[in-house]
Amino acid sequence: MLAILGMIVVGCSPAIRVYHEIDKSSSVDQYHTFQWAKTDSAVWKLNPLYFNELNDRRIKQAVNDLLTAKGYLPGPGVSDLTLRYNIRVDEQFILLPDPYGYLYGDYWMMPRDNLFRYREATLILDVWHSQTRKLIWRGWAVAAVEVVFDQEKNPEVIIRSAVAKILDAFPAHATPSVGARSIATGDCAEN
């Protein structure tokens, strides 16, 4: 049953769907540094399966690497941009009719529908202007947990992939630093 649901969800849409919105009155690429907002421990207690130190490190490291590659630098102290992420997992349902729409019985035919339940996870990344506390960019990725997280897939790779897809739409800094260019291109400086 789970395999059927997985095929249906994958068949109907890509494994990870990504969206974003931006405050058009603010030019994100004018900023240079970023920092992470303080972690809200109350949120972590709501769902410790998804909010945990492992996922926190995976998400923050992926975001740090990708923003650095785009020319932004992590700032010690007060930075231009403040980042926060959130994870939301919701129960979803999909209604599928039987093949051909009928269940054949001994004396009559009756239509039958199948209701499948699955969990849909959303990773949200918010970027605020640090001084005004104004949200200037939001990106989020949505996927069916059962499709994306199966036993053969590495959570670190999946999280990095989702973050990369989210930040693909994030504007690059106007003048990336030398360190950022080497991370983006994979160049290594020899000592």
With b for 16 or more beta-carbon neighbours within 10 A and e for fewer, the 55-86 pattern comes to beebbbebbbbbbbbbbbbebeeebbbbbbbe
Tell me the domains of the chain and their CATH numbers. 15-89+118-185 (3.30.160.670)
pLDDT in tens, 40-87: 766 666 766 677 888 889 999 999 999 999 999 998 778 899 999 998
Query: Which pLDDT score, from 0 to 100, does residue 112 have?
Result: 60
Query: Which pLDDT score, from 0 to 100, does residue 106 have?
Result: 52
Threshold 0.85, pTM exceeds: no
Instruction: Give CA–CA dist 9/86, Å, rounded.
Output: 23
Map residue 56 onto helix, strand or coil: helix
